[in-house]
A and B are shown apart, each in its own frame.
Chain A
Amino acid sequence: MNNALKNRLIDRVFKYFAILSTLFGLVMLFIFLIDILNQGLSRIDWSFITSLPSRFPGKSGILTALTGTIWVFLLTTIISVPIGVAAGIYLEEYGKKSRMANILEINISNLAGVPSIIYGILGLEIFVRIMDLGASLLAGSLTLALLILPIIIVATREAVRAVPKTIKEASYALGATKWQTIWRQVLPVSSGNIITGIILALSRAIGETAPLIVIGALAYVPFVARTPMDEFTVLPIQIFNWISRPQKGFIINAASAIIILLAFVFIMNGIAVYIRYRTQKKIKW
């Protein structure tokens, strides 16, 4: 076998390996989706979404869990996005390259890998007890914001770094200040990647249970939260609670709640893709 043939063979083998790897993830996801839809779809109706928790699986609903999840999602976005993006821009554009900056950088990357329950313990001490916010929506959202900040910061930095230097230099050459360059050139170009990072981070936050249970999020809340200071529960806690119950009906309820949570994340992702598409269409160099 000559060299060219051998290389072609390797090329082909790699191609099939890559296809297999892609299929592995997709098939697993597919099996999971079929299983969940099969179990839970029949249970979803309007009353499932608008009912309070109950000891009867058939009467039980997710009203407070779903509204809690929406609250947490909105508050976490409001808190984490400005801070995360600003920190990312500072580290990439303003911060000086020093030993301190290096240590900071390594720490932020490491923070992204800390188990989420640790953030729960931190949140319990700082937000719930020292800042005296109680087991409120605000305390929960602040905790989740901390949890996803490292992801947003890293994503922002990478997005900003990918903007060609020539663009920035051209902007300076025309007399723009640093702020004008960042706001009018760097951010619009990198916003697509930043939004992707934010969405991945928020999707993670929405699925978290452990840190919220630690800060004292509840399982049974018979009223819809009106202010950020109200107590709350979220969908993952409701799912966790239902899955551990002995009665079959609750397992079906859990599957239905998982479908709702998935749909919520899908819609969120859809909106993000749309925003990204719109912003990127505007870029004309």
Chain B
Amino acid sequence: MKTNLISIALIALITSCGGPQQSGEKSGAKSLSGAIKIDGSSTVYPITEAIAEEFRVDHPKVKVTIGISGTGGGFKKFSRGETDISDASRPIKDKEKAACKENNIEYLSLTVAYDGMAVLINPGNDWVDYLTTAELKKMWEPEAQNKIMKWNQIRPEWPNLEMHLFGPGVASGTFDYFTDVIVGESGKSRGDFTASEDDNVLVQGIATDKNALGFFGLAYYEENKDKLKLAGVDNGNGPVYPSIETVKNGTYAPLSRPIFIYISSAAVKRAEVVEFIRFYLEHAGHLVSEVGYIPLPKEEYSAQLETFNEFAVSYQ
């Protein structure tokens, strides 16, 4: 009885997987070969790497390569037709759109995961519980430079102690995003904070300084829970702490962002690319959380897959 059930389930699984595959697949799945070139954001890299690693098990002859020249650098190559897929931690900019158009490259953007940004303090800090977005703005806006230096300037009941700020380097997508949603303009912030491109340096900095406050990707907090303390963020609807649930259901706003892959229309003419993207969307659900990011709800991945199938068929 039990084996029967399993075999029924298997058959159901096989047929359901077979459905979308037939539309674009001409050759058998096992004999796929060729090369897929991917470049772009180092934030998205761990996800794409995990997908490529698993994809290689099924399709060992397809050579998938991934670069990390950053979201902007990736789009530059993408718009010249040098890559098939671009990893991006922000949506494509108008300038980059124009470059794609100039070279007759059309594209499809797919959301593959969420990245939560955490505001962190030292475990010895017993006065901060949460911060409002207005307080974060007051702390980080350019006007705060050399003026807002103490905790009691943010909230009067907080102690008269120096405040030490830590954040990612100005070239990172994380910094762009944080300043965009908190300060109001991407890339604008005070300059007198400790910046590092290496998030592990920020972890060390906050972990050893009682008066520290910093922000970076949630994945780095997950790995250093014992050394850091999370601060909640209040956007007007009460303080919310970042977690898989609050990022997924959108209540942890505005410090969570979607991350994307962009697929070129020229590339979907090739069966191996089509198969790779399908594989991506079918397996992202569990692989994304394995590498420390937050997956979309299941239905979203199916919806993305449908959008992609339509896109792929229209360029075949």
Interface residues of A (CB under 8 A from B): 52-55, 135, 213-214, 216-223, 231, 237, 241, 243-248, 251
Take A55-B291, A246-B222, A246-B292 as given contacts and tell me if A217 and B67 are in contact as well, using a CB distance cutoff of 8 Å. yes
A158 to B259, CA, bound (A): 54
Q: Which of B22-30, B48-56, B154-162 contacts A (4 or more CB under 8 A)?
A: B48-56
**Nearest chain B CB to A93 CB, angstrom units:** 43
B199–A218 CB distance below 8 A: no
Can you show 19 pairs from A to B with CB atoms below 8 A apart?
Answer: A52-B56, A53-B49, A135-B67, A213-B68, A216-B82, A217-B67, A218-B66, A219-B66, A220-B65, A220-B66, A222-B52, A222-B56, A222-B63, A222-B64, A223-B63, A244-B197, A244-B198, A246-B219, A246-B223
A247 to B42, CA, bound (A): 15
In this complex, what residue of B is CB-closest to A59? B53
**Nearest chain A CB to B196 CB, angstrom units:** 10
B49–A220 CB distance below 8 A: yes
Contacts of B230 in A (CB 8 A): none
Interface residues of B (CB under 8 A from A): 39, 42, 45-46, 48-50, 52-53, 56, 63-69, 77, 82, 197-200, 217, 219-220, 222-224, 287, 290-292
A241–B219 CB distance below 8 A: no
**Nearest chain A CB to B77 CB, angstrom units:** 7
A216–B39 CB distance below 8 A: yes
In this complex, what residue of B is CB-closest to A134? B82
A246–B197 CB distance below 8 A: no
A247 to B223, CA, bound (A): 6
Contacts of B220 in A (CB 8 A): 246
Contacts of A231 in B (CB 8 A): 65
A52 to B52, CA, bound (A): 11
B287–A218 CB distance below 8 A: no
Q: Given A216-B77, A244-B198, list of 13 further CB < 8 A pairs?
A: A54-B53, A55-B46, A55-B287, A135-B67, A219-B66, A220-B52, A222-B52, A241-B45, A243-B198, A244-B200, A246-B223, A246-B292, A251-B200
Take A55-B53, A219-B45 as given contacts and tell me if A243 and B292 are in contact as well, using a CB distance cutoff of 8 Å. no
B67–A219 CB distance below 8 A: yes
A248 to B198, CA, bound (A): 14
